[in-house]
Amino acid sequence: MQAKRFRRLAVIAALVQPASARAPRQFNYDESAVPAYELPDPLVCADGSRVKDAAGWRTRRRPEILELFREHVYGRAPAAPSELRFELLEEGEPGVEGSAVRRQVRIHLASDVSLDLLVYLPRTTADASPAFLALNFYGNTSVHRDPEILPSRSWMGDNADLGIVDHRATAATRGARAHRWAIEEIVARGYAFCTVHYGDIDPDHDDGFQNGVHGAFDPSGEERPPDAWGSIGAWAFGLSRCLDYLEQDDDVDAERVAVMGHSRLGKTALWAGARDERFALVISNNSGCGGAALSRREFGETVARINEVFPHWFCGNFRAYGPNVNRLPVDQHMLVALIAPRPAYVASATQDRWADPRGEFLSAKHAQPVYELLGASGLPMGEPPSPNVSVQGTLGYHVREGKHDVTELDWAHYLDFADRHLLATPK
């Protein structure tokens, strides 16, 4: 019992530290020490045959890769719940200093599980707006100082870096992460901004999958199979339920929704975009291992380490690949490829070596053959660009100077990318 308590304390301590602070010294940060590896070819099927056209990708290889990620990495999520229901909590109120209309909606997934979706809509257009949808770490109150944002009702962890002891103490969270969300600029560009606290969906700790959507949807009294969904699968499931709501909101163009995420929520955005093709554009910010970074490079965080510290993020089968990642039948370039031919953007930071910036770039680059097969442009550069420079085709990439975070520069590149792909041919 005492050992279990210490293990949980170690996990909580890891949660409240930035990724760079968690990186142990024994992990590799030397490019010359990256082991030799061979990536699975995203266009070669399990039977050895190669898909040669869009039909072959769509009917054969794409379903095969999606199934491999379900079985070996993220697990299997249930279908949309039959009890799905939307409750309007607030409508038509001005927010973001009068430049937007604020809407707050409760999405009921089950009798005891609901998500609070915060939406800011541009006031300058009568047409349905394209949108950015993202999960946040610290509750909806953290994304802006707007005093009318409803406080979170769900798990928030300790959040010691914000001085939060009780998640109901919204004074500590109000606007605490506003620098990560360029809401004024997003709205000024004509996009809606939509966000949900990830703790509404599933608490981010190793609780035996008893709470959140796992507690509501996993069969009770049964042993979890090794391919059961982990927390990343759960958070992606929640993003899809938010999109279910946006499909019936006349003020949002649900066919032009970009899903964005940072860090573990960047991993989530990639998986959400891969499994739910309704997302029109996908953005991964500093997502690292289990996200955009190639696992076989074993640079910075590794599959073995991520499963040791965060075993609840993935399915049980993923743990078997820590000792030998080359046995894994997929790598993360194949996750990016699942998004094709829809636009996808991967971003890194120079000081975020734990997330392997070069490995993140290479995932996007090695997804390019699938994009080209489907008639898209891929990533128009063979090597990572200079810091802060964005390269954009149907795939986009930049490595920003600085640490593990989301900044105004990141958003400037994301908005330019979205303008290029979501505003070029509006409905």
Q: Summarize pLDDT for 156-185 with one digit per residue, the tens.
A: 765 545 444 455 556 778 999 999 999 999
Region 187-216: mean pLDDT is 95
Which H/E stretch holds residue 258? strand 252-262
Higher-scoring residue by pLDDT: 35, 221: 35
* 118 φψ region: left (φ > 0), alpha (ψ -120 to 50), beta (else): beta
Q: Which residues pair with 228 in a beta bridge?
A: 76
Higher-scoring residue by pLDDT: 275, 111: 275
167, 214, 262, 404: the active-site residue: 404
Active site includes 99? no
- DSSP class of residue 228 equals B
CA distance 181 to 193: 9
pLDDT score recorded for residue 23: 45
Level-2 CATH architecture, domain 85-422: 3-Layer(aba) Sandwich (3.40)
Q: Where are the domains of the chain?
A: 85-422
Helix, strand or coil, per DSSP, at residue 339 = coil
* Per-residue b or e along 323-359, where b marks 16 or more CB atoms closer than 10 Å to that residue's CB: eebeebebbbbbbbbbbbbbbbbbbbbeebbbbbbbb
Q: Summarize pLDDT for 56-110 with one digit per residue, the tens.
A: 999 999 999 999 999 999 999 999 999 899 999 998 777 777 789 999 999 999 9
pTM attached to this predicted model: 0.92
Closest CA to 289 of 308, 317, 275, 274: 308
Residue in this structure with the two tokens 């066919």, named with its chain if needed: 255
Question: Rounded to whole angstroms, what are the CA distances from 420 to 188, 224, 243, 291, 341?
Answer: 16, 44, 22, 24, 15
Active site includes 263? yes
- The percentage of residues in the chain with a pLDDT greater than 70, rounded to a whole number, is 90
Which H/E stretch holds residue 304? helix 303-309
pLDDT score recorded for residue 170: 63
Q: Summarize pLDDT for 321-352 with one digit per residue, the tens.
A: 999 999 999 999 999 999 999 999 999 999 99
Number of residues that make up the chain: 427
CA distance 370 to 356: 23
Residue pair 254/243 in contact (Cβ under 8 Å)? The answer is: yes
pLDDT score recorded for residue 11: 40
The pLDDT confidence band at residue 426, using thresholds 50, 70 and 90, is: very low
154, 263, 287, 348: the active-site residue: 263
Contacts of 159 (CB under 8 A, 6+ apart): 16, 138, 167, 172, 173
Whether pLDDT at 234 is above 90:
yes
Region 399-416: mean pLDDT is 98
| Least reliable range by pLDDT among 146-160, 285-299, 345-359, 401-415 | 146-160
Residue 69 in tokens: 């990620």
Instruction: Count other Cβ atoms within 10 Å, centred on residue 364.
Output: 28
